[in-house]
Each structure stands twice: as structure tokens, then as C-alpha cells.
Amino acid sequence: METSSAIIGFLQSVHPYDSLPQDELVRVAHSFRRSEVQAGAEIYHFGAPLDGIYLIKTGSVEVQDASGGLVSLLGPRNSFGERGLMRDGLAATTALALEACVLLHLPAAEFHALMQSAPPFQRFFTRGRAGDRRNTDLAMQTVGDLMTGDPQSCGPEDTVQSAAARMRDGGISCLGVVEAGAFIGLVTTRDLTGKVLAAGLPASTPVRAVMSGTPISLPPEALGADVLNLMLERRIGHLPVVEAGRLIGMITQTDITRFQATSSAQLVRDLAGAQTVAQMAAVTARIPQLLVQLVGGNTAHQVTTRLITDIADTVTRRLLALAEAKLGPAPVPYLWLACGSQGRQEQTGVSDQDNCLFIDDAATEDDMAYFAALAIYVCDGLHACGYVYCPGEMMATNPKWCARVSTWRGYFRRWIATPDPMAQMLASVMFDLRPIGGAVSLFSDLQAETLAEAAENSIFVAHMIANSLTHTPPLGLLRGFATFRSGEHKNQIDLKHNGVVPLTDLGRVYALIGQSPAANTRARLLAAGDAGVISSSGGADLLDAYDLIAQTRLDHQARLIRAGKTADNFMAPSDLSDFERAHLRDAFVVVRTMQSAVGQARGART
């Protein structure tokens, strides 16, 4: 039988217990109960009460899901059972001893007390679990939680006098304009004073004559950071919340006065007011520190990457404005789009630029020369701001990616009709397109049309699936990792190309099959589960795997920045604890399993 001193010595080698002060560590050590379990014995069963978590001292344990599927294989210094404790004390898994084990059992009361009093415990046992993260900052809230529900509205043919009376009686500063149930515009007190009173219009003037038609709006799943960034960048005070074309809420400056602007919003403010590329570059140089602050604040990876991408979007729009100020107004409508990680709203501390231009078909050759100059100005500006030139020249400065809409339509049709390897690669990039600045109408119809045509072409889908299997997780033999064997990154794994990219590729395939217009990987995985493209259990596992891998990548980049180094995607597995390595490998196993499943589906299609 081990003594308390032996348990204390063991705990000192296990994270996060090694972070506890010595007196607290001694107290916690006395709370553990030691047990011996024979090989093949069931430690606990799915759905049974689970009073605490387990720490493996010797032996190995297999953790299974409700259907008996493998969740993880754990060895010494690994913990298990914590996910059950997050679900009202009932086991969310089944645990079996693969071999004789010595287990240390920490009662639930002590575990929860540590989660409350010791931040390292909270970070350790919730990392990668986006649903367990809590943050009261405005930037991290969803618009659906922030908005004023049951928004007041009027019809386009109502008089401005009746609209003013409604705003006065309701103590509000704006009304949504709704026609046949659809949201079509916004009228504010500023519209009434500036467009009606100041212009001497009669009180019988219809609202349609003074409203802002098709104003900027946000969906309920957008973030509070989106509200701040839009209000600061566009200098607006009201944001309608719209879902499926219907007005469901409103956010005004009054709603956010109790919150302080976040760091990302401050960067957006500074960028929106910048007059030169040099001023903008000075702002974007603060992005690495923002990444460190967000990761250090336990911000979920999808929020961190969204905030960082918002900054890139603002830089792009500001450069477009400066370009037009220098070159003159655009001769015909155009649309600047981002692809790659910016298009998916997944930028990290390491980002090059991927972009293109859609130009109205009315453009003449002289007009095209204007857009070539605009592309050079913007791409050079992005490069100066730290978004380096794309090594594959996937940029609007490449004449191929600065083209009329009809040319783009031809590209898409050819890629779908003849899905050779190059077409697959290009299609993969282009399915991640997201409008940044200009006439969105140039893309919206084309996007829907292309998505429908591609999804109906089984040969194209099969080729896209094959393309999605070219990047594989870095899984080695004997429950290890397949690291680089030589070179600059010896003994490291690539958390981008072998980590998040396989998931990005799977998400793109699922979106194609389900005809989802979403560009963001996490949104695509959620949509695939909702649409039945993948099973609910498979979707949940894949989402958890994505969250863990993406968060590990951000944590790695933040560690490098804090150490005064440049962020990259190459991490040595030895930098992680045994627990972290085990769970990261589990996540890679999930990805490989889902790749196998989609590969089998490809075989069925062909």
C-alpha cells in the first residue's frame, strides 16, 4: 500500500496537479482513494452515477462511448471520467481496464472545488470543449443573446408621422421596415430629422421614401465582436438581426454602452481611421499580442480566429477605399472576395493572402486596366500589413483571378465538368470564397448556381472526396505520432496541413454534399450534422476533434509568441503532457475514421 508521500511524489509529475502550491498538493493527495483493478474489469458504465474522476498510476484503460466505440486508450498519468462530471454526475462513457491497474480516485466534490479555485484545472479539463467555455465579454456573446427581441416595425407605406409616434411611444430610436413579413429596410430618428424635417417634407410622406433600404444586418449566430466591428468601421448605431429574411431583433449603441470595446474592436477602430498603409501596418503588428491575450483568456478557437479574421477584413476594405481615393471611382461594379483561411474566417497568427476580384460583365478593356491597378494596390498593402503574398499566386493581381463574372462562371463550369487534379485544387479554394467589399450581388446568384451544379455531378463530388483524402493526420505506430524524421522540423508535426486541413477538407465535402453555403469549417460540420450528411454521433465526435486540434494549434502559436518567437504550425508532441498527447491522438483517430467513411462513400458513388 502506497503512503501519502508516494502519492504526493506521483502527483508532482502530473499536470495540472504540479501547478498546485505544496500545501494544497498535500491536502489534495489525502483526498485521493487508491484502488486496484484487474485486467478486463469494468471501472464504470455509461449512464451510471460517477462520483469523481480517475487518475491512472499504473496500467492502461480503454474508454468507450455509449455504443461501445473507442474513445481513447489511456496510460499512466492520464485522467478519465471528467466529461461525465460535466454532465450532472452521470458517466458519459464506459471505462474498462485493459490490464491490471492502480487507480487514484478523486471525489467529485474535491474535483469541482479545484475547478473553482485553481484556474489551471479549469483550463486543463475544459480545453478544446467550446461548449464549456464561459466569457461575459460582449465580443464573445452571440448576437442572439445580446439583441432586443420582439423588435418594433412599420410598413413601407406608413407615414413618417406614424413612424415617429411609434418610436416616441416605445422610447426607441429606430423601426424595422417590414413588407409581407420580409425585412426590407430601417428608419431611424436621424432619418426623420435629417431627411424629413430638415428637407421640409410633409408628415404624410411614406416611410419608403426616407428609409435605409437593405441595411447591413447580422444573423443571430454572429458574435458581439461583429456588432462592435461593424458599428465602429461603418459608423452606424443600429444593427438589425435577421434570420431567413425576417427581422427577429435589433441591436443599438444603447444596448452595448455597458460593455467596453474589446481589443479586436480597438484595432478595427484604428484601422478604419488609418490614412496610410504604414499606419495600418502599425495596427496589424499588434495582432500577435491579441492572439496571446485571446488564448490566455481561454477564448474558444472559433471566436479567436473570427476576431483575427475581422481585422483582415477591415484592412482589406480600408485598402479598397484608399485605392479608389487614389485611382478614382470604380468604372463598373466589382466585388473583392477572400478565399483560404480568410474566406473561412479561420485566420490565426500565421496567414498569407488569398483573394480574387469579380467584375461586372460590362467592363471594357480600359476598365480591366483600372481593376488590375486596384488589385496591385490592395495586395501590396496587404503584404505590407503582414498578409504576405500567396506563394501560389492565388491573388487578384493574377489576371486569371481578376476577371468578369462570365469568366468566373466559365471557370466553375469547366472545373465541375472536367474535375482533373488542378480543377479539384482550384475548386477547393473557390468553394471557400467570401465577399469582403463591393457588390455582393455579383456573387450570390453564382454561388448558389455553382453549388447546385457541383452537388448534382456525382463524378465531381467523387473527385472532391478523393482530393479531401490527400492530407492525413500524423498518426504513427504504437499509439504515437508520425513526426518529421529530418530537416528543420525534425520530431515535429504540422498542425496545419496534417491537423486542421484534413478537417477543413472534410467540411468542404460535407458542405458540397449537403449544398450548404457556409464557408466556415465549424459551421459546415454543424450543418452536416443537422442535415443528416453525417450521423449525429460522428458529427459530434468530429466537432470535438476539430475543436481540440484547432485549439492546440492556437495554444502552440501563443506559446511561441510569448517566448519572443514567430508563430508557426510545427509542434513537437513532447511539448504536451501525456494527457494532452493522448487526447490529441484520439482526435486524429476520429479524423482518420471519418476520412475512411467518406472514402467508402466515394467508392459507392463511383
Domains of the chain in sequence order: 4-126 (2.60.120.10), 138-261 (3.10.580.10), 273-415+430-449 (3.30.460.10), 459-605 (1.20.120)
Q: Please list, in sequence order, all residues whose beta carbon lies within 8 angstroms of the beta carbon of residue 108, skipping any fewer than 6 positions away.
A: 50, 51, 52, 53, 85, 89
151 by DSSP, 3-state: which? Answer: coil
- Site of grid cell 484503460: 61
Where are the strands (E) in 383-504, listed by range?
A: 402-404, 434-438, 493-494
Query: Amino acid identity, residue 255?
Result: D
Mean pLDDT estimate for the chain: 87
Largest interatomic CA distance in the chain? 92
Task: Answer for the pair 543, 594: CB distance below 8 angstroms, yes or no.
Answer: no
Alpha carbon distance 463, 606 (integer Å): 9
Query: Amino acid identity, residue 314?
Result: T
Task: Answer for the pair 347, 301: CB distance below 8 angstroms, yes or no.
Answer: no
Q: Which three cell numbers stand for residue 522?
A: 465549424
pTM for the model stands at 0.64
Which helix (H) or strand (E) segment is 357 a member of? strand 355-359
**Parts of the chain with a pLDDT under 70:** 1-3, 65-73, 83-88, 123, 126-141, 145-146, 148-149, 254-263, 265, 297, 478, 601-606
Q: What is the pLDDT of residue 54?
A: 94
348 by DSSP, 3-state: which? Answer: coil
Q: What is the pLDDT of residue 129?
A: 41
Q: What do you get for the CA distance between the two ends of the chain, in Å?
A: 61
Q: What is the pLDDT of residue 175?
A: 95
Q: Please list, in sequence order, all residues whose beta carbon lies within 8 angstroms of the beta carbon of residue 574, skipping any fewer than 6 positions away.
A: 491
Count the alpha carbons within 13 Å of 606 in the hemisphere toward its beta carbon: 13
Sort 51 into a burial class: Cβ within 10 Å, 0-12 / 13-18 / 19+.
Answer: middle
Alpha carbon distance 201, 430 (integer Å): 48
Strand partners, 148: 250
Q: What is the pLDDT of residue 1?
A: 45
What angle is formed at CA 203 by the lines to CA 199 and CA 207, rounded to 5 degrees? Answer: 85
Q: What is the pLDDT of residue 137?
A: 53
